[in-house]
Amino acid sequence: MPSSPQSHLPTEIIVQIISYVSADNRDRQKTLHACCLVSHQWYSAAVAYLYERPLVNTGIAFQRFTETISPPLGARKNKLNLGSFVHRLNLSHLVHHSSNSLTARLLGRVKGNLEVFAAPSLTFTISSLPALSKCLNLRNLDLSLVHDPIPFPALKQAISKHKKLTTLRLPQSTILTEPESARIPWPPSLQRLQISGRFNPLLIPTFSWPPALTSLALKNCSDLSVTNLGSLLSSPQLGSTLRRLTISGANRGVQPESINAIPAFLPNLTFLSVPGDMVDESFFDIICHMFPPLALTVLEFGLPCADLQLNFSTKSLVNALKTGLTNVREVGFANELVTDQLATEHDEIDDVLRQLEEHRVSQSGSGTQDEAQIGVYLLP
């Protein structure tokens, strides 16, 4: 088709239009694809956006994507290096659609600019590590669905030079305290870590955590009894660097005593999320006796481990807010745990949080950050 004169716009205008389309998530991929078909000029302007964060959540989409990015031998190749346009790749929806070698080959193609990667559950294995080790621009790596028991030292080795990596979710059955891993450095900028699987309670107190770690999530750990969690939390390194701790309801062995151990070991946390059903009156007894008050600004009663109900009264929480929790601005509840009765009591909690805020403002003159939220919120 000869290009008609009226379809010729200055490239800057086309780029403007495409970046506008690209910022809108509704039908983003479809619209960008349509833009690529308009003319050569439109194609050149839109193709990088089209491949930037491809939606590959069905088997057929994945197949087309891999055939384009990594064409089979002998097939006609695109002159552009399409893989270099990919910045985010989320393969968490895929189960049987890939294969170990295909996942590895795909990573090899997109390694140049990949910043965010979520691995598929079955086809990311130890054989993917050489390709992963070349994705040096990764910022966020999510291996939480990976089934293969990848030895932790091998994984750590593969990512230890990833200077930009700030967020890492480890595979389901990681054994964290394998001794050989101690010699291998963590990625230097790693701030947020999610661990799953097992650790040796005798080795964990001296475990070397990432030097820049500020946020730790424990999810699907095999035993978070008070003995095990206590030895983990007793690490002096965690005490001084950690600001955010999330203990998910999807852990085994959690007891109310495990939760009770947290305030004494980690008084400087600003965010704490724990399974709502694992908090009982004794948690607030402990907190009421803490001085100075905890640094916590957000306390979340998250998805439960077992029981769909809370085992403490609003009165105990309110008392704690006035004593050991005077820095708290927000209290979150998992929706599942909220009964009609509790919903009416949330107003009371809101009131106390507002009074505390007024008090802080009158004490310091300046108040807290303007943007800080105050009050009760529900978790989706």
Ligand X SMILES: *[C@@H]1O[C@H](CO)[C@@H](O)[C@H](O)[C@H]1NC(C)=O
Using rule CB under 6 A, residue 172 touches ligand X:
yes
Distance CA 378, CA 300 (A): 9
Q: Which residues pair with 334 in a beta bridge?
A: 379
Cis peptide before 293 (omega within 30 of 0): no
Total of chain residues touching ligand X, rule CB under 6 A: 19
* Stretch of residues binding ligand X (CB under 6 A), selected from 11-19, 175-183, 275-283, 349-357: 275-283
Residue type (1 letter), 339: T
The residue within the footprint of ligand X, chosen from 178, 257, 280, 336 (CB under 6 A), is 280
The residue within the footprint of ligand X, chosen from 63, 113, 311, 368 (CB under 6 A), is 311
Using rule CB under 6 A, residue 220 touches ligand X:
yes
The residue within the footprint of ligand X, chosen from 267, 293, 332, 375 (CB under 6 A), is 267
- For the CB of residue 205, give the shortest distance to ligand X in the complex, in Å: 14
* Stretch of residues binding ligand X (CB under 6 A), selected from 67-75, 98-106, 280-288, 358-366: 280-288
Which 65-94 positions form the footprint of ligand X (CB under 6 A)? 90, 92
* Tokens representing residue 81 in the block: 């290096």
Distance CA 44, CA 39 (A): 9
Check if the beta carbon of residue 339 is closer than 8 Å to that of residue 307: no
Using rule CB under 6 A, residue 314 touches ligand X:
no
**Chain residue whose CB lies nearest ligand X:** 239
* Stretch of residues binding ligand X (CB under 6 A), selected from 6-14, 71-79, 274-282, 349-357: 274-282
Distance CA 255, CA 224 (A): 8
Nearer to ligand X, 307 or 351 (CB): 307
- For the CB of residue 165, give the shortest distance to ligand X in the complex, in Å: 13
Check if the beta carbon of residue 176 is closer than 8 Å to that of residue 209: no
Strands of 330-334's sheet in order across: 88-90, 116-118, 140-142, 167-169, 192-197, 215-221, 244-247, 271-275, 298-302, 330-334, 375-379
Residues in contact with ligand X by the rule CB under 6 A: 90, 92, 116, 118, 140, 142, 172-173, 220, 239-240, 250, 267-268, 280-282, 307, 311
